[in-house]
Amino acid sequence: MFLEQVACAKSSLAYLFGCAGQGLAIAVDVHAGDEATFMTMAEQRGVRIRYVIDTHIHADHVSGGRRLAELAGAEYGLHDSDQGLPFEFLPLGDGQILRVGNVSAQVIHTPGHTDDSICLAVTDHSRGDAPWFMLTGHTLFVGGVGRPDLHGRATEMAEKLYDSIFGRILSQPDYLEILPGAQAGSVCGGGISGKPCSTIGFEKKFNRSLIGKREDFVAQVRDAVLPEVEEMQMIVRANTGRAM
Ligand SMILES: [Fe+2]
């Protein structure tokens, strides 16, 4: 398999990964304006982008996902809770597996930062039948977690975030690598490291947001004071095709 992590504007991290042998790839969390870069990356590797995924409807940057999917002849995927948006997309259900050659990405629904947040557990079947890394979107960062307050209902969303992180992510093996959707400087979470990757085991031990007692986690995450997201209304309108 191959994997590329791309540092983008607004401290975001996007990804291109897949199977070089069979020439198929998946792109994740691509910004508007970066579509040509991803097309060039795919061309240089001799792969065709089969799926373009956004780990959630972003509020901090305009997505290039739909445009890249058009250019590449790929399917654009979002979690199936986004159904009803005024454009066609591949609705991704919890547990669904996207296969590109020897590589697969399993969808894990992890609401909390947003209702539609997903992670992707990625397996290289030429190495083994268990996931090697997880793209954690804006659910779990290196050193932090996704903020739950962007669309209101902060307490309820912080509770969902707890269940997603502790129930669906930290239950994975300690050796599993995590590759988040943003690094230090992002407004989508607090305490985020400038190191763009980690492991489940390291985060369990040293991520200060991961307080095991549910009510303490909820209170800390809900009450964290984070900067406002600039131009959020415009960005969400662009990413959903409708007003908030
Ligand atoms: Fe986000």
Query: 66: CA distance to ligand 1 center in Å?
Result: 17
Amino acid at 226: L
Query: 140: CA distance to ligand 1 center in Å?
Result: 11
Query: 139: CA distance to ligand 1 center in Å?
Result: 8
Which helix (H) or strand (E) segment holds residue 120: the answer is: strand 118-124
pLDDT value at residue 88? 95
Strands 75-79 and 90-92: parallel
Q: How far apart are CA 234 and CA 154, in angstroms?
A: 21
Q: How far apart are CA 164 and CA 160, in angstroms?
A: 6
What distances in angstroms separate CA 1 from CA 26, 108, 143, one per listed residue?
Answer: 11, 21, 27
Query: 138: CA distance to ligand 1 center in Å?
Result: 5
What distances in angstroms separate CA 144 from CA 56, 123, 196, 222, 233, one per listed residue?
Answer: 18, 24, 12, 13, 25
pLDDT value at residue 243? 65
Query: 135: CA distance to ligand 1 center in Å?
Result: 13
In CATH, 2-240 is 1.20.1090.10: no
pLDDT value at residue 230? 93
- Which residues of the chain are under the pLDDT cut of 50? none
Tell me the angle at which helices 65-72 and 35-45 cross, rounded to the nearest 10 degrees: 40
SS3 63: strand
Q: What is the DSSP secondary structure assignment for residue 166, as one 8-state letter?
A: I
SS3 40: helix
Query: 28: CA distance to ligand 1 center in Å?
Result: 13
Query: 22: CA distance to ligand 1 center in Å?
Result: 32
Query: 122: CA distance to ligand 1 center in Å?
Result: 20
Query: 121: CA distance to ligand 1 center in Å?
Result: 18
Query: 164: CA distance to ligand 1 center in Å?
Result: 15
pLDDT value at residue 244? 57
pLDDT value at residue 212? 86
Domain ranges of the chain: 2-240
Query: 233: CA distance to ligand 1 center in Å?
Result: 13
Query: 29: CA distance to ligand 1 center in Å?
Result: 10
Residue pair 69/58 in contact (Cβ under 8 Å)? The answer is no
Query: 127: CA distance to ligand 1 center in Å?
Result: 31
Query: 21: CA distance to ligand 1 center in Å?
Result: 33
Query: 113: CA distance to ligand 1 center in Å?
Result: 7
Tens digit of each residue's pLDDT (9 = 90 or more) over 79-116: 999 999 999 999 999 999 999 999 999 999 999 999 99
End-to-end CA gap in the chain: 39
